[in-house]
Amino acid sequence: MYTSGIDMRRNAENRDARARKKTQIQTGRQRLGRALRAYTLLTVVTFLVDKIYALFAHGVGSDYMRYLFLLPLLGGVAVFLLIALLLPRLALRKSWRIAFNLYNSGIAAISASWLLKGILEIAGADSRRPDIFFYVGIGFVALGILVVIIQGIASRAR
């Protein structure tokens, strides 16, 4: 059967486009994989920090310290695992880096808030500074999510 040069060129372009898409998805998954590994390590470290700190706390504990490991586990591992499985191309968008940095900064600020609140609770002291970290962290997380949503709406409008 005879195929024209144009048909052969279109087939080659389609193959190249499929290969590029597959490579982009792999790149997105690699980026998300690094975030997953980092958050998994943070989950283990925060769990161990609580256990080691409890050894020196003379039997006094804090729920903030006890459940600190849940922040990187649920806010990091669970979120980025869902993104990696359901939306791996999300990590390839132009706004991904700013959204990623805002979100991670928010999780870090909330974690710092819980850590400080736990230490102060164990020490029997009180301060409003951890609350400031908490609200700033919530704001950063919300901004990160908002940037992704706005970028998604803008890309659909095109």
pLDDT tens sequence for the chain (158 residues):
555 556 556 665 665 555 555 565 567 778 788 889 999 999 999 999 988 888 887 888 889 999 999 999 999 999 988 888 888 777 777 788 899 999 999 999 999 999 999 989 888 898 999 999 999 999 999 999 999 888 878 777 76
Q: Which CATH number fits domain 5-157: 1.20.120, 1.10.260, 1.10.287, 2.60.40?
A: 1.20.120
Determine the Cα angle at 158 with ends 90 and 147, to 5°: 40
Per DSSP, the chain holds a count of helices (H) and strands (E) of 6, 0
- The C-alpha atoms of residue 37 and residue 77 are separated, in whole angstroms, by 8
- The C-alpha atoms of residue 118 and residue 63 are separated, in whole angstroms, by 7
pLDDT at 26: 61
DSSP string, 25-66: HHHHHHHHHHHHHHHHHHHHHHHHHHHHHHHTTTT---HHHH
Domain ranges of the chain: 5-157
Burial of 119 (0-12, 13-18, 19+ CB in 10 A): middle
pLDDT at 136: 97
